[in-house]
Amino acid sequence: MQPYDQNNIFAKILRGEIPCHKVYEDNHTLAFMDVMPQAKGHVLVIPKFEAVELTDMNSEFIQAVFSTAQKIICAQRKVLQREGIVQLQLSGKEAGQSVFHYHIHLIPASVHELGKHEGRVADQSELATLAAQLSAELDQPTIK
C-alpha cells in the first residue's frame, strides 16, 4: 500500500497552496473540477482527511464524501443535462490511481464513452464557468 504523502497535489489544494475551481466545500469535504476531465463537468470530491483510499477513512468522512457527492450529482444533472453520472474511485496504483489522496470521480457520461483521462489541462475559463454553474445549483438544494 502507498503511504500518505503530504505533498500530493490534492493535499496542496486542501492547504490552498495551489488553486482549484471549487464547486463546494464544507468542514469535511471539498469538491472541485478535474483539470483533465474525462467528460464535460467532471468533478472530484475529496475528504479533508489524510486518506490514500477508502480503507483509510473513518465512517464520518465516508458519510461526508458521499453526502457531498449526492449534492454534486444533483447539480451536474441540472447543469450538464445528463442523467448518467459515472462514479469512479480507483484504489491503488494497480487500479490506475495516480493521485494518492482519496477522491471520487463524478463524471457526467456513459461508461461506454469514457477513455483514459485527458493528458492535457482543460480550458481554465470553461472550468471556471462550470464550477460557478454547479456551485449556483447547490444554493438551491434538491436533496430531501
Tell me which residues touch ligand DGP (CB under 6 A): 9, 20, 32-36, 90, 96-99, 117
Considering the candidates 103, 105, 112, 117, report the single residue annotated as catalytic. 103
Q: CB–CB of 61/28 below 8 Å?
A: yes
**Judged by CB, which is closer to ligand DGP: 124, or 142?**
124
| Helix%, strand%, coil% for the chain, nearest 5 | 35, 15, 50
Minimal distance, residue 127 CB to ligand DGP, in Å: 8
Is position 28 annotated as part of the catalytic site? no
**Judged by CB, which is closer to ligand DGP: 87, or 98?**
98
The CA radius of gyration of the chain, in Å to the nearest whole number, is 14
**For the chain, where are the alpha helices, taking DSSP H only?**
9-14, 59-80, 124-138
With b for 16 or more beta-carbon neighbours within 10 A and e for fewer, the 34-64 pattern comes to bbebbbbbbbbbbbebebbbeebbeeebbeb
**Judged by CB, which is closer to ligand DGP: 71, or 117?**
117
Which residues have a catalytic role annotated?
103
